[in-house]
Structure 1
Amino acid sequence: MDIQRMRDSFEVVGANGDEVPLFFYSHLFLNYPETRSLFPVSMMTQRDRLFAALGHIVTNVDNVDVLVPFLQDLGRDHRKFGTLAGHYPAVGASLLATLEHFAGDAWTPELAADWAEAYGVIASVMTEAAGQSDDPAWWDARVVSHERRTLDIAVVRLEPRERLDFVPGQAVAVESELRPRLWRYYAVANAPREDNVLELHVQAHDGGPVSSALVRHLAVGDAVRLGPPQGGLVLDTTSDRDLLLVASGTGVAPLKAILEQVTQDDVARRVDFYVEARTAADLYDLESLQALARAHPWVTVVPVVSDEDDYPGEKGRVSDVVVRDGPWGSRDVFVCGAPLMVDETVKELIKAGVPEHRIRAERFAPSRPGPSAEGSLTS
């Protein structure tokens, strides 16, 4: 298998933009109509997911430690769509037809063989992981509380019917009858609890059909379905280093879960949690974080407001405030939230002497399809 040849061809195909997934799904549905029921009625937010996942696979095709867990997670996760082993050949055939159509003169028998072999491996790893999973394909849950904290952010608490085990920092996919067959990931904002309740922080975005529905129309008692937990923004349990947590927007959620986890551990460590928002009103979960700080004197919560000149506390960019309050070179660092904030904060912390390997970061983008390496091979 010529990896570079595959990467070059994928770049050529990807240059055609939205035409590529449109061709793929048209080919799939016309030639394999039995697959149509796996997908939502509207494909507007669906078309980029296949090639987002393929892009991640092609990038990491020679990195087994990254690629295999990613494919295993995809395989287990795809059970919630109703994906069966028999669907994979259809997807593979449409994928090869799409690559051939857009690769033009670059498509050769050798390249076709490379892609066929690669897809065979992908499908094998995914189906094997799906078959070995003892977890449900999804968890039925009900809404036990729904609080509108701002115009566009709601804190939603869900109670799964069966026990749903997860690691603080992970996310779960949510589907509601408000938007059938549209699944979106939301980070769980609490550590596992005896009552099995999960707290999600949902922000509505323009053009985000699921998030808008969950914020504006979901109600107590409503039924939802939850997919298997995913994501790697989790605490290194072999480390006892102090923590620096930096969040903006609903990036607060997974870091709050990690903070709750630390408060339950026997390991004594200091935690400094910086939260950035445009205005004081946007600090939607500050009261809850401050309650944790009051209960645990080794926790400090620092709100930072960027766009409100008369705010009485810290003002400006959170990256500037964090670096000023350092040094943080001895800490494990977690950064989560808006992509610009995450990138700036990581860059400035590295410049300030924090070892890059101690920084875990996740960028939250509107209607993201997955918790880390976004995408889906079928749905």
Structure 2
Amino acid sequence: MTKRQIELVRAVTAAVEPWAADLPRFFYTLLFERYPQVRELFPIRMEVQQDRLLRALLMIVDLVDDPQHLATFCADLGRDHRKFGTVTAHYAAVGECLLATLAHYAGPSWTPEAAEAWTAAYNTAAQAMDQAALEDARHRPAVWQARVTGHVRRSHNLAEITVQPDQPYPYRGGQFVSMTTPWWPRTWRYYSPAHAPRRDNSITFMVRALTGGRVSNALVRHAELGDTVTLGPPLGDLALDARSQRAVVCVAGGTGLATARALIEQAVLDGVRRPVDLYVGSRTLEELYAIDDLHQLSRRHSWLAVRATVADELTSGSGTQLLNSLAKQGPWPDHDAFLAGPGALVVSAARVLHRGGIPIERLHHDPFVSLDSVGTP
């Protein structure tokens, strides 16, 4: 895309921002009215799906001048959308309704030139998604059925859940997996395996039952041994590059500890020898469920150091014990950072580390968490 087209895409995004809460609802209403056959691909309750649409759009706009990362993001979206039953024909329908939605809310900003720019942006993203999905279909299924083989409650709202997929499930430690349950069909939530791949193909997830969380509450409070859940493809590219000699600071809070543990176990398998300082935060001692395993890893591998803190309010900001500890150990100008956990914690930790000298491009995290505010005063 040209510089002018990129400017127009972002100008339209700024124009519709005041109606961000209404835009997804309008889009889906229009899509289901014009193409009622696609309604069955979506869950009955659409709140989370609407939020994901907006976040995906904002991510695409944010990356529109970064073709390499945009292609990677869209390819992951395309592979992930196979689980919904998305096919090539759906992209045209979605594009038509998306452009109509933007035209409805953008007002004078929606000029013929702006419409052309947005058409180009959407077609670029849709083509990357569709091509990735078609290529993915040549090598693996869209979904995996997995039987629950382990269910251990770690606290009143946290459970360690182990599943056995019906066929090999290739992933790398540090990736995340979407899951849906028979209690809420077509309602998907993302969880990170709590370890690197195992020889027996089993996967363990740490799941916290969130207030109003349909899938998380079903998994923690209702799932039993023998129940079957459905897994989407693995996503994400968090990984410690074995070729780099740069030291690493890793921050994990809540169930983000699962991601950190998997990331470090994968690093061991890959022969990584980069110095890694892992900072772990938890609300309670009981939720430091993997700390013994991590300490054992640190005793076997001198490049790994593990520090754990317990605080009542993990995500309350820079005043927490975890973030204070992180700030005191800086600065970190020569480090890469890997962040996992609640979005508020990731942003707060990123801000501390950025002040400590780590540039934003070396702050690695969940792609759906925005660090736009990190560099601002």
TM class by shorter-chain length? Answer: 0.7 to 0.9
User: Any unmatched runs of 5+ in structure 1?
Assistant: 309-314, 364-369, 374-379
CA distance in 2, matches of 1:234, 1:371: 17
Match of 1:185 in 2: 190
Match of 1:366 in 2: none
| Aligned counterpart in structure 2 of residue 21 of structure 1, from 21, 24, 28 | 24
Change (3 A) 1:190 1:96: same
Do residues 279 (structure 1) and 284 (structure 2) align? yes
Change (3 A) 1:124 1:173: same
| Aligned counterpart in structure 1 of residue 13 of structure 2, from 7, 10, 14 | 10
Match of 1:338 in 2: 342
| Aligned counterpart in structure 1 of residue 204 of structure 2, from 196, 199, 202 | 199
- Amino acid aligned to 1:306: A
Change (3 A) 1:46 1:140: same
CA distance in 2, matches of 1:357, 1:106: 31
Match of 1:318 in 2: 322
In the TM superposition, residue 80 of structure 1 has moved relative to its aligned partner by: 0.5
CA distance in 1, matches of 2:275, 2:110: 56
Q: Once structures 1 and 2 are overlaid, which stretch shifts more, 29-38 or 208-217?
A: 208-217
Q: TM-score, structure 2 length as denominator?
A: 0.87
1:118-147 superposed Cα distances (whole Å, 9 cap, x missing partner): 222222221111111122111111111111
8 Å Cα contact 2:238-2:263 kept in structure 1: no
Match of 2:374 in 1: none
CA distance in 1, matches of 2:74, 2:260: 25
CA distance in 2, matches of 1:27, 1:250: 37
- Amino acid aligned to 1:251: G
CA distance in 2, matches of 1:81, 1:177: 15
| 2:24 match: secondary structure | helix
- Amino acid aligned to 1:63: D
CA distance in 2, matches of 1:16, 1:356: 29
In the TM superposition, residue 326 of structure 1 has moved relative to its aligned partner by: 5.3
Q: TM-score, structure 1 length as denominator?
A: 0.86
1:293-347 superposed Cα distances (whole Å, 9 cap, x missing partner): 4555654332212249xxxxxx952122234345655544322223343333333
CA distance in 2, matches of 1:291, 1:269: 18
Match of 1:174 in 2: 179
Match of 1:377 in 2: none
Q: Once structures 1 and 2 are overlaid, which stretch shifts more, 104-113 or 35-44?
A: 104-113
Change (3 A) 1:106 1:350: closer
Match of 1:347 in 2: 351
CA distance in 2, matches of 1:247, 1:166: 20
Count of residues in correspondence between the two structures: 361
CA distance in 2, matches of 1:94, 1:352: 44
| Aligned counterpart in structure 2 of residue 289 of structure 1, from 288, 291, 294 | 294
CA RMSD of aligned residues (A): 2.5
| Aligned counterpart in structure 1 of residue 59 of structure 2, from 56, 60, 63 | 56
8 Å Cα contact 2:196-2:265 kept in structure 1: yes
| Aligned counterpart in structure 1 of residue 243 of structure 2, from 238, 241, 247 | 238
Higher RCO (Cα < 8 Å, 6 or more apart): 1
Match of 2:316 in 1: none
User: Any unmatched runs of 5+ in structure 2?
Assistant: 314-318, 372-377
Do residues 214 (structure 1) and 214 (structure 2) align? no
CA distance in 2, matches of 1:371, 1:166: 21
In the TM superposition, residue 93 of structure 1 has moved relative to its aligned partner by: 1.4
Change (3 A) 1:124 1:221: same
Match of 2:69 in 1: 66
